[in-house]
Every structure is written in C-alpha cells, then in structure tokens.
C-alpha cells in the first residue's frame, strides 16, 4: 500500500481544503494512505501529523482555510530551534528529507506559493519525492495560468467595490480601495474592471497624481462627482517609492499604519479638493468559502497531483494551461514573479473603456 503525505505552506487561500479533499478521495480510491503534516514544513520536521481518513474530509469542499494549519515562517533551511532559553536558526532540511523516509512517505504533496515551492525544489534536489501544487491569491506564480484563491479574492474585492459605489455616489466622494498584490496587480486589475473602477493603480505601471486627478475632474465635468480608485498594495508612489505598511511588531508608533491606499486618498484630496476616503480590504481577501471556479481548479489540481504522486512522477508542479491541467518539472518553472505585461489585453480593453491607470 502506497503512502502519501501532504502539507500546506504560506498564507492561506480559499481552496486549500478542496485540494486536500481531492487528494484524499483519489488516495482512498487507489487504496493509498494519506498523512497530513500540520503547519507546513514544521509538521514534517517535528513529526506532527495525522492520518487523513474519510471523516476528516467530510464537508471540506466549501470551507475556507486549511484544516492542516499553515505557517509562513518556518523554513527547513533556516528553522527555529530552542537551544536552552533562546531560539537559534538551523538547517533542518536533512531532517525533513530523512523524516519522509522514517514515516515511509512515498511522495509528499506540497501546496504552497513561491516560497514553499522553492523549498520543495531544494528538498527534491536532496532526494525528497515531492509534487507541488501552486497556490497564491495574488495569481502571480510562474508556470501556471491561474492559481486557486484568486477568483475568490476577486469576488470579495468586487463585492467591496459594489458596496463602495453606492456610498461614493451618495456622498459625491472619491473612494479608494487598497487590495492585495505586493508585486503584481492581478487582483486590482480584475476586480477593478469587474467593479467599475475609474482608476486602477498597480505595481507594473507608474502613475502621476496629475493623471489620476485629470480623470476624476473629467468625470465631474460629465456630471459624475464621485470616483472609485483601486490600488494594489504594492503600487509605488509617483516617485517610485514603495509604501510599506508598518507591521505591528516593528512600529514604534501604534498609529503609523497607513499604506498606499491612504496615501493616494490624501494626494487626491489635496490635488482635486474632493473629499476622499480609503478602505484597506486586507485579510478579508484570503477568507471565506472558495468560489465555484476555485473549488473546481483546486479539485483538479488535487486530483492531478495525487495521480502524479501515485504514478511516481516526482519533482513536478501541476499547472493550468489553456483550461487544461498539465504539469511541469520544478526546473521548467520560470523564476521570478508573474507580473502583468503592460500590453496585457485586459489593460488595453480597460483603457479603451476609459479606465485610467494613471500613466
């Protein structure tokens, strides 16, 4: 009887549980065992796991989050270990590879983003048998057309834009919505088009406050004294600076927590004189029940990953290409972040409708 392992790493995304469920269903159908490691690679290194049986996956498809827990800090190559009364960081990657043997895991399925899959690749180079499943709500991973969680995040963001529209219109205000997307503006672009934004600011396109103001003022001239601006958290200032939201830990001052959204609102208000308000959608984008599209994508990824694992085709990541599920080897995955090309057809269509990108 084969034995598969599974873990979830990095920030949570709607659809993680749907992947776990699909892997468990295929494993059950093929008479394989499935072990779930808790809290990402930590569970593998610490030997914290459970056998996933039918009852664990019941009702899992529509549930957000991950029943395995996740962790976006514990890197096996730089792993926090208590020594005496302090924490030191050690390379525990050999332990991770070794534990897969100890626990007799034929193949480990890692569901994770850039970071988790880079670690998976390094472990694979050390001999671990691994299949990767790409995951990020930001949709900026190389090697796949789309990641699960993205469609749900766009849905949550679009719903927020619908809500802001009525209040913007009633109060004749400029409403700014700051969305996730540190390096790529996919969520901002898609939800901006779907939510009827007037201005979309993304990391890929540099903008000036004059161009943003021009759009807002021209709307007023057409009898629309309100506007909606969507801004990705990673959009830079007109001077090219990145506004880093202070983490709570690092902030010397409890109220130094604004980000690019608040900055844009202030700049708009100063430039146009229009009352402006910012909202930061934040963690809500990660939560909730996955959309039907994401449930299907996650299910297909899970099914394909389990098949590859059982067939012994290790060292690969499952992927969506032109609507079909395929896979590529870890080596074939292009490096870096999948940003939006300036000539992307949706940007062109958006501009054609009059949406400003501030450029």
- The reply to whether 236 sits near a copy of itself by the rule CB under 8 A is no
| Footprint on residues 18-47 left by a copy of itself (CB under 8 A) | 22, 25-26, 28-29, 39
Q: Which residue, among 259, 264, 261, has the nearest Cα to 208 in the 3D structure? A: 264
- The reply to whether 158 sits near a copy of itself by the rule CB under 8 A is yes
Supply the minimum distance, in Å, between the C-beta of residue 346 and a copy of itself: 7
- Cβ nearer to a copy of itself, comparing 128 with 154: 154
- Cβ nearer to a copy of itself, comparing 124 with 175: 175
- The reply to whether 75 sits near a copy of itself by the rule CB under 8 A is no
DSSP structure class, residue 284: G
Supply the minimum distance, in Å, between the C-beta of residue 19 and a copy of itself: 12
Q: Go through 285-310 and write b for each residue having 16 or more CB atoms within 10 A of its CB, e for each that does not.
A: bbebebbebbbebbbbbbbbbbbbbb
138 catalytic? Reply is yes
What gap in Å lies between CA 283 and CA 266, rounded to an integer? 23
E-state strands within 220-293: 227-232, 276-280
Select from 292, 312, 334, 336 the one that contacts a copy of itself (CB under 8 A). 292
Residue tagged active-site, from 74, 138, 140, 151: 138
- Cβ nearer to a copy of itself, comparing 71 with 93: 71
Site track 309-338 with a copy of itself (rule: CB under 8 A), x = hit: -------------xxxx-------------
Q: At what angle do helices 209-221 and 260-272 cross, to 10 degrees?
A: 60
- The reply to whether 85 sits near a copy of itself by the rule CB under 8 A is no
Site track 198-227 with a copy of itself (rule: CB under 8 A), x = hit: ------------------------xxx---
- The reply to whether 165 sits near a copy of itself by the rule CB under 8 A is yes
Select from 64, 113, 234, 315 the one that contacts a copy of itself (CB under 8 A). 64
What gap in Å lies between CA 207 and CA 217, rounded to an integer? 16
CB 106 within 8 A of CB 129: yes
What gap in Å lies between CA 317 and CA 322, rounded to an integer? 16
Longest dimension (CA), the chain: 72
What gap in Å lies between CA 74 and CA 118, rounded to an integer? 13
- Cβ nearer to a copy of itself, comparing 194 with 205: 194
- Cβ nearer to a copy of itself, comparing 99 with 155: 155
Select from 296, 328, 337, 339 the one that contacts a copy of itself (CB under 8 A). 296
Select from 127, 167, 334, 342 the one that contacts a copy of itself (CB under 8 A). 167
**Across the strands, what pairs with 149?**
none
Active site residues: 138
């Amino acid at each position: 009887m084969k034995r598969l392992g599974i873990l979830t790493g990095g920030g949570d995304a709607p659809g993680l549980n749907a992947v776990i469920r699909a892997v468990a269903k295929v494993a059950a159908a093929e008479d394989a065992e499935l072990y779930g490691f808790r809290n990402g690679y930590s569970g593998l290194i610490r030997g914290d796991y459970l056998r996933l049986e039918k009852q664990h996956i019941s009702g899992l498809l529509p549930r957000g989050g991950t029943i395995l827990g996740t962790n976006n800090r514990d890197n096996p190559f730089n792993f926090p270990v208590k020594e005496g009364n302090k924490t030191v960081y050690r390379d525990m990657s050999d332990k991770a590879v070794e534990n897969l043997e100890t626990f007799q895991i034929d193949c480990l399925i890692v569901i994770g983003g850039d970071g988790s899959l880079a670690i998976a690749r390094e472990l694979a180079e050390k001999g671990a048998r691994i299949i990767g499943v790409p995951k990020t709500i930001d949709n900026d991973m190389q090697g796949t057309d789309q990641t699960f969680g993205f469609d749900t995040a766009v849905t949550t963001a679009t719903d927020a834009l619908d809500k802001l529209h009525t209040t913007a219109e009633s109060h004749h205000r400029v409403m700014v919505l700051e969305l996730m997307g540190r390096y790529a503006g996919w969520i901002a672009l898609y939800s901006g088009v779907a939510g009827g934004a007037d201005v979309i600011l993304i990391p890929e396109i540099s903008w000036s406050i004059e161009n943003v103001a021009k759009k807002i003022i021209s709307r007023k001239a057409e009898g629309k004294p309100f506007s909606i601006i969507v801004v990705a958290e990673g959009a830079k200032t007109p001077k090219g600076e990145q506004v880093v939201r202070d983490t709570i830990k690092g902030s010397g001052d409890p109220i130094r927590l604004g980000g690019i959204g608040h900055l844009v609102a202030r700049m708009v208000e100063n430039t146009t004189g229009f009352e402006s308000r910012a909202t930061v959608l934040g963690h809500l984008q990660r939560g909730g029940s996955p959309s039907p599209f994401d449930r299907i994508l996650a299910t297909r990824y899970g099914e394909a990953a389990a098949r590859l694992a059982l067939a012994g085709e290790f060292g690969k990541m499952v992927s969506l290409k032109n609507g079909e599920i395929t896979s590529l080897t870890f080596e074939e995955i292009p490096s870096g972040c999948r940003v939006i090309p300036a000539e992307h057809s949706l940007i062109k269509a958006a501009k054609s409708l009059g949406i400003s990108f501030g450029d």
